[in-house]
Amino acid sequence: MKILIDISHPAEFHFFRNFIRIMSDKGHDFFITARDKDCNIELLNAYKFNYVIRGKGSNTLVGKFFYLLKAVNQLFLIAKKYKPDLFISFCSPYAAIVSSLHGKPHIAFSDTEHSRIMRWAYMPYTKNILTPKCYTDDLGAKQIRFEGYKEIAYLHENYFKPNADVMNLLGVQKNEKYVIVRFISWKALHDMGHKGLSLYDKIQIVKNLSKYAKVFISSEEELPDEIKRYKINIPVNMMHDALAFAILFVGEGATMAAESAVLSVPAVFNYLRFGYVKELEEKHHLIFHLNKLDDIINKTTELLTMPDLKELWKQKRFEMMKTKIDVTSFMVWFVENYPESVKISPENSILQMK
């Protein structure tokens, strides 16, 4: 089978990378197109994937429209030459539109309810859309739900073993506590109309955290002078290793908060509250969604002074993972058996690779 995968965000690369490796080993062929965003290209290079860049995109609505036309034209020409049997993406309108123009099916994955403008662009051209069971929107007959999160696809123990060498790169001793902090740009399409922590809030949060542990900041925006010294400096493909050994995650990214939960790391975050975030907070009690500065400082202080915090979160994570599937195995089964796999209920725990 020849498959074209379009990647817009680093989290999407991680979501697909084990799937691509396993399917390639089974003899399937891939063509990867990628947006030049954040550390996408660095990750593709680090994992030695072949790809074609489709541009940087835009942060304005008008710019996004013209980029849509450009990217669709580029992918159309690529697909005309490559002749894929199937298009796959994490709700990419470019892949969806081009798949329709070439008369081939497009399978989309999504876990972001707020991404309604993007949904308007890709849903009409998408054959099936796979979402976590906790996804709160009903997308109709095209929707197939699975019992998992996208973060499990690359952080499941079947695929991920944290590399302790990251501790040396961070300059952290074996039993020394450290916190990973993440600030985002709030420029994504689904971020429009929303805002994150103020500059003052960020500085105060970091200052308080530094009283209890070392602090390392990952940021999409330039850091202010007051906290610039905390900027993390490790290879991009080792961020999950760094997160795995952290005592706490604090930040604005929902993806990194969910990654923390899958890695047994408590997370305090300020961001949009998607269905999977709500489940991780209310059902599994692994993360905390807080908006006010005082609440964030109080909760992070409480967690950092809690005895046996890591062991408690390992147990919570263990109980959560008992209810989830190996998402990558499910993806492999679903695509290899497509379209017959659509007719089989994903409620079947055996087929869901629990």
User: For all residues of the chain together, what is the average pLDDT?
Assistant: 91
State residue 80's pLDDT score. 97
Whether residue 345 is predicted with pLDDT greater than 70 in this model: the reply is no
Instruction: Please report which helix (H) or strand (E) contains residue 297, including its range.
Output: helix 293-304
Inter-axis angle of helices 254-262 and 275-282, nearest 10: 40
Taking only the tens place, the pLDDT of each residue in 144-177 is: 999 999 999 999 999 999 999 999 999 999 889 9
Q: What is the CA radius of gyration of the chain?
A: 20
Whether residue 224 is predicted with pLDDT greater than 80 in this model: the reply is yes
Confidence of residue 317 (pLDDT cuts 50, 70, 90): very high
Burial 252-282 (b: 16+ CB within 10 A, else e): bbbbbbbbbbbbbbbbbbbbbebbbbebbbe
Taking only the tens place, the pLDDT of each residue in 256-292 is: 999 999 999 999 998 777 999 999 999 999 999 998 9
CATH of domain 2-148+325-343: 3.40.50.2000
State residue 56's pLDDT score. 86
State residue 189's pLDDT score. 47
Of the listed ranges 15-19, 114-118, 193-197, 348-352, the least confidently predicted one is: 348-352
Higher pLDDT, 1 or 193: 1
Confidence of residue 334 (pLDDT cuts 50, 70, 90): very high
Please report where in the chains the tokens 């942060």 appear, as a residue. Answer: 59
* Contact call for residues 332 and 20 (beta carbons, < 8 A): no
Please enumerate, as own/partner, the contacts of 99-106 that have beta carbons within 8 Å and a separation of 24 or more: 99/125, 99/126, 100/124, 100/125, 101/76, 102/76, 104/79, 105/338, 105/339
Domain locations along the chain: 2-148+325-343, 165-321
What distance in Å separates the CA atoms of residue 63 and residue 299, rounded to the nearest whole number? 40
What distance in Å separates the CA atoms of residue 243 and residue 345, rounded to the nearest whole number? 35
Phi–psi pair at 214, nearest 5 degrees = -65, 150
Confidence of residue 344 (pLDDT cuts 50, 70, 90): confident
CATH of domain 165-321: 3.40.50.2000
DSSP label at residue 223: P
State residue 194's pLDDT score. 46
State residue 119's pLDDT score. 86
Tell me whether the CATH fold assigned to 2-148+325-343 matches the one assigned to 165-321. Answer: yes
Reading phi first (left if > 0) and then psi (alpha if -120 to 50, else beta), residue 176 is in beta
Closest by CA position to 286, among listed 255, 258, 323: 258
Taking only the tens place, the pLDDT of each residue in 288-307 is: 999 899 999 999 999 999 99
Share above pLDDT 70 across residues of the chain, in percent, rounded to a whole number = 94
